[in-house]
Amino acid sequence: MTTSSIGDLVAKDNMLCCLQRRIYTKNGTVIEPQEFKVRTDLESVDPNNVLAAATFVW
């Protein structure tokens, strides 16, 4: 899990996260590599904490 964009000029309250490899959930569901947008207040939230939370949820 990485970030591909944090607070760009167009959407300063968004963070684009990137799942770089296929992963499998506990029940065997496959989650393919993808990017997804996370809306957050980047002035008060550490982007590393967002990545940690997104990784844990998968």
Query: How confident is the model over 10-49, as pLDDT tens digits?
Result: 567 788 888 999 989 889 999 999 998 888 887 888 888 8
Q: Cα(22)–Cα(40) distance, rounded to whole angstroms? A: 25
Q: Cα(20)–Cα(55) distance, rounded to whole angstroms? A: 12
Would the pTM of this model clear 0.85, i.e. be above it? no
Provide the residue ranges of all domains of the chain, joining segments of one domain with +.
2-57
pLDDT surpasses 60 at 9: no
pLDDT of residue 45: 85
